Amino acid sequence: MENNQEQKNAEHISFVSKSEQFIEKNQKAIIAVVIAIVVIVLAIFGIKKFVSEPRQQKANEAIFAAEQFFANGDFNSALYGDSTTNDQYSIGLLRVIDKYGSTKAGKRAKYEAGICYLRLGQYQEALKYLDKYNGKDQLTPVINEMMKGDAEIEQGNNDAAIKHYNKAAQMDDNPITAPFALFKAGVVYLMNNNNDKAVECFQKVKDSYPESTLFSEMDGFIAYAQANQN
């Protein structure tokens, strides 16, 4: 048993010795790798601290005036800014997107620009900016998808609108957006004389979302769609 222990100790000493030899032999390479890692970490920290964060701050300042116009329903000024002032931050959403598109404010500007164009009746431009938006929160991506449907329906693209509304209904099964998306899809199905699908949408709103403000209206829509079924 002592022989086994001595053999293990010898193997351990040999392994340690080889490890030390490897480190000594490759010391310069190891130090270079460590330095490289430190440089990368510091560079990432520096980019965030001295580039990314100040850029985010500038973007937030730049979008402030545009979002005030947006909140007040002045969609044209929200898009293009206020040309009557020399304030460097009285720029519109489009300029914010151009200068700070990769920031959180810039991404939000794409969503708001899409809404502005939709409200101004410029539906292709609305789709252009709504397609660029990639929100990470729970609510705005669903609304964004529904607004794509709104833009399509205004252009007579019923089938495309239905796809957007159905997608929105499936994105988040909550009692706020899902029933509205289903209702919109149902209305377009009615427009397409696809009354079976319309009944299906309206019935799902009634059965699955009794807390929705649309609930009390569904019996009338269901009855209308059923009366027009083949």
Q: Which domains does the chain have, with CATH numbers?
A: 135-230 (1.25.40.10)
For residue 91, the SS3 value is: strand
Mean pLDDT confidence for 87-114: 87
| pTM reported for the whole predicted model | 0.74
So what's the pLDDT on residue 24? 54
So what's the pLDDT on residue 60? 85
So what's the pLDDT on residue 102? 85
Averaged confidence pLDDT in the chain: 81
For residue 218, the SS3 value is: helix
Percent of the chain with pLDDT over 90: 57
Mean pLDDT confidence for 5-11: 47
Rounded Cα distance between 190 and 150, Å, is 15
pLDDT at 172 over 80: yes
pLDDT at 192 over 50: yes
* Helices assigned H by DSSP within 175-230: 177-191, 195-208, 218-227
pLDDT at 130 over 80: yes
Mean pLDDT confidence for 4-30: 49
The CA-atom distances, in angstroms, between 180 and each of 52, 74, 147, 198, 215 are: 38, 26, 12, 13, 10
